[in-house]
């Protein structure tokens, strides 16, 4: 192998996140474990969920706040914020602050089930809505009880089922 090819392979191995990297919530903070050790990416002690992008370059996480006295009736579970940070712990951005609304379809207070799209350029999540189900929020608004197949850019492909139970029965 030429020296140039070896140098390129070395650079790629140093710059690409390892598939063995893992994320964990430790004492309310996001910890990234790599072959080189571990690094705490947050210091807020209120992280409830975290997920890595497919390429490992970004981490989306949810900060959870208990309800204030003023929020107790509208937000009994409290509220959340959705954040994004790179794997070095820098380039931190607040993406969404959960809010209450008189209409449950427009409330985004308790963010959960976060995940990146396959391309890593979108983050999907659910929010607590009714007592028995979550809500999916899209640009068009509203929430849905039916299970839908949707493309990464938000276009509806087709209805899969009218409940998660029926959708699971259709799975091989």
Q: 81 burial class (0-12, 13-18, 19+ CB within 10 angstroms)?
A: middle
In this prediction, residue 59 carries a pLDDT of: 92
- Tell me the per-residue pLDDT of 39-96, one tens digit each, with 9 for 90 and over: 999 888 888 899 999 999 999 999 888 878 887 777 777 788 899 999 998 899 999 8
| Whole-model pTM over 0.75 | no
Q: Which two tokens stand for residue 126?
A: 């659910």
Q: How confident is the model at residue 6 (pLDDT cuts 50, 70, 90)?
A: very low
What confidence tens digit (pLDDT) does each residue in 84-133 have? 999 998 899 999 887 766 666 666 777 888 889 888 888 888 877 666 66
Provide the token pair at 154. 């938000």
The pairing of beta strand 47-52 with beta strand 37-40:
unpaired
Alpha carbon 166 to chain centroid, angstroms = 25
Question: How far is it, in rounded angstroms, from Cα 78 to Cα 100?
Answer: 10
């Amino acid at each position: 192998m030429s020296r140039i090819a070896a140098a390129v392979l070395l650079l790629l191995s140093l710059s690409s996140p390892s598939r063995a990297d893992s994320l964990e919530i430790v004492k309310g903070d996001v910890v990234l474990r790599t072959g080189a050790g571990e690094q705490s990416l947050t210091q807020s002690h209120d992280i409830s969920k975290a997920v890595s992008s497919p390429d490992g370059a970004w981490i989306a996480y949810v900060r959870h706040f208990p309800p204030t006295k003023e929020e107790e009736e509208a937000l009994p579970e409290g509220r959340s914020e959705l954040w994004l940070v790179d794997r070095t712990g820098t380039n931190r951005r607040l993406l969404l602050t959960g809010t209450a609304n008189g209409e449950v379809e427009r409330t985004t207070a308790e963010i959960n089930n976060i995940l990146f799209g396959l391309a890593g350029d979108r983050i999907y999540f659910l929010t607590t809505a009714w007592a028995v189900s979550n809500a999916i929020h899209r640009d068009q608004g509203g929430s849905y009880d039916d299970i839908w197949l949707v493309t990464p850019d938000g276009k509806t492909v087709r209805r899969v089922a009218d409940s998660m139970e029926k959708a699971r029965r259709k799975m091989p």
